[in-house]
Structure 1
Amino acid sequence: MVRRQRKPGAASPAGAPRKKHLLSGLIKCSCCGSNYTISGKDYYRCAGEKERGTCGNKVSVRKAPLETATLAILQEGLLTESHAKLFVEEYRREAARLAQGDERRDVAGAVRLKQLEVELANLARNLVEGKVSPMMMTMIFDREAEKATLEARLSQAAAANPLGEILPHPVLLDQFHQKVEALRATLDDDTIRTEAAAILERLIESVTIYPNAPDGPEAEVVASIGALMSFAINGNSPPRGGAGGCSMAVVAGTGFEPVTFRL
């Protein structure tokens, strides 16, 4: 089942109260758009039906199996080899484009540097010949300052690697699987469950319940490939650019299909 990718949800704010249920705020009703909220001890139900009586979706979903299936799909079903490969290709293509832009800027800077050197040589010749004036001294100071700034910029550009080299897609895919597995393991530890749950909340965009699917009720899990790949590359933090970063807009638009499973 393929549906259009939706806008990623916002991350939980810092200092927010601990979530009692892992998928709270992420489960949606396909019929009315309301959140699924906890009902009793072990079930999620559509808030539109349960609290307001405005929805006909009476499908209740057991909490534990839904959470287990969602995490398994996050780890193994959402980020495929083709997705990771496409992401890496787009990353490298954009990195090359940006590098070419830096090279063009460096060429312009190098040309201007040569011009400054000629101008300063001419001004120095005038000084030797005794042609000194306040305007000439100002011109010398200004050009010396511009020359120093250009030399520093060109020196930094020569040594810089703005985006760095991204790992091969099989390595990134394996890295992602291992990190999600580690997060799943920490959910059983009450001392760090809150932090792990917050990270998973940023990775999972939504879990939508379809009560009237042809083969029975289904849940659709949606995530952003940009968020998943950023997690694989950068760990628990969002990308910030620099070596190993992947904040390029071209990558965020990479096609990504949701995954569904039977309830």
Structure 2
Amino acid sequence: MRIVSDELWARVKRKQAEVKEHFAHMTTNRLNATHRPSYLLSGLLECAECGGPYAIMGKDRYGCTNHKKRLPIDDLGGACCGNKKTITRQNLEERIINVLPAAFFSMDIFKRVSAGSRARLEAQLRAEPQKSEKLATEIAAVTLQQKNIIQQISDRAAAGRPALAALDDMLDNLEGERQKLTAQLSADEAAESPDLQAQLDRLYEETKPESVEYIFNVMLHYLRNYADTETKQPLVDIVRQLIQKVVVGPMPGHEPASLQVHGRIASILAAMEVTTMLEKQLKSIHWGWFLEAEDAGRLGTEEKRQDLLRAMADDLEEKKARWRNLQVSVVAGAGFEPAAFRL
């Protein structure tokens, strides 16, 4: 089920391809189509205690395989791994995906996609003849065909040859087409159709970085909740180019597992101002709430939509006041090892 229009969904799909294109140069180790991972983070999860792999244990939950198998670990002096913390695939992927808008913002992906889209679409728009020009050209072509047929009829009559009904039928059909095109041209000229500048103004509005960011958040929402494996694959490819590994560790009591992300995305997030990073992350979560509410039919009126938008804005302002004193936890890399970022 989709609540967005076909037009917006088409724009979402175009932006998905454009964002992926900006990451194409990041790696020479492209994923073979026959060996693509089943899930977003398959093969990238590591236990914080023993360094072993985290894998699906059942009911869509990840857990340390060494702990489950009770294998003795050399680095632990022959003891078994004590990390019994599990995490659902949905929670794990959600926490990773929620930082993507912040990372993309820092990398100027939204600006680059915006500039690329605008340049390409503006070139197409300027190259396309206006509708009235196209109709006038079509009318001229039909009129020329009529003149040629009339000339054939005249030549046959001058030569004493019998008239052909087929030529008369062709002439009648062309006249009907000419009248139809002429009526369309008159209607278009009478209507206040947008000129080129008006179309360009609309294009600029639709392709500004903020619009690209909104479309990207829509794309993330539908990829997470509704898309099939094939549709999700570009997002999987992008994420795996940014992330080297995710280290999963235990937390006290029933607190969610700790996540420590290694790879390019860690360096990007570590370089961002903490308030900017958290703001982008929260906005992505907010848009998920908004779209889920629309999916569930809870925003049937404009008043309800505005109430939710105001609540989201208030929530953001409240949290921004608390974020001013926060410090981001970053683990520095050793040598060429990338930094790690805790989520």
Range into which the TM-score falls when normalised by the shorter chain: 0.3 to 0.5
The structure having more radius of gyration, on CA atoms, is: 2
Normalized per residue, which structure has more helix? Answer: 2
Looking at both structures, which has the greater relative contact order when contacts are Cα pairs under 8 Å and sequence separation is at least 6?
1
- Give me the TM-score of the superposition, normalised by structure 2: 0.36
Q: TM-score, normalised by structure 1?
A: 0.43
